[in-house]
Amino acid sequence: MLSFPRLLGNGRTAVGTWVKLPTIESVELMAVAGFDFVVLDLEHSPMSMETAATLTAVSAGRGVVPLVRVPDHSPAWIQRSLDAGASGVLVPHVDSDEQARAVAGAARFEPDGSRGVGPTSRAGNWGLTPMLDYLATGHEVAVIAQIESDAGVRSARAIAEGGRVDALFVGPADLSVSLGMPADSAEVVERIHHVVEQCKAASRPCGIAIGADPIRAAALADEGFDFVMLSNDATILGSGAAELVARFRACAP
């Protein structure tokens, strides 16, 4: 099983991207491009759970760590994503340690949580993995809490120190909108740095997503982020196509 925590422990900043297009080729192209991980987006795309399960298998087969962003805190979404073989889940809008503990518990088997036992799923190699080995995978999946509000920022230390989630992830867009300020404003930047500092103090990895700006992404890695996400498959396709057309229009008679 590909492990997100082990990916973060290899000594370099991991780079990933969102996958919003419900196509196998999209995941394959991101793998060929060299991304370390992909996040299949069930929150902000029309992708179904069935498609996400297929893309999870394709990603793992291509050697790229597959994560799933679930649409909400429902234990059912978390369990189905992990049963499908995801290496972990990103959970949006985690605003408190209590919420962090609840979503982490949904990803862990008893006695550490309440995840249902389903060894006949992909996570258990369709029943071929010995039960004890299957149950051990519950300690390998990553639960990543998205910090997207001022309440989440204020709770970042408690969430990071709670010991239940494996990493925190800053959502700059939602955070800036919740504050009514531009994403590059001093107030938003200060809150983002605060989250990173709290993660470092608690020895928890921290990630962030930005647009198609690899220079800025490298700078964020230098500022202490352990994983960064660059753009998404749909925007990468659209921006590449738009650039081609614009260059043609500029040169054509």
Catalytic residue list = 44
Structure tokens at 47: 């992708």
Structure tokens at 29: 């192209």
d(CA 37, CA 192): 22
Question: Helix H segments across 34-169?
Answer: 49-61, 75-83, 97-107, 131-136, 150-154, 156-161
d(CA 157, CA 174): 19
Helix, strand, coil shares of the chain, percent, nearest 5, are 50, 15, 35
d(CA 13, CA 251): 40
Amino acid at 205: P
Q: What is the Cα 90 distance to its own chain's centre?
A: 5
d(CA 146, CA 137): 23
Residues 216-224: contacts with CB under 8 Å, at least 24 apart: 217/15, 221/13, 223/193, 223/196, 224/196, 224/200
Q: Bridge partners of 143?
A: 89
d(CA 115, CA 132): 15
Helix, strand or coil, per DSSP, at residue 147? strand
**Strand-pair category, 37-41 with 65-69:** parallel
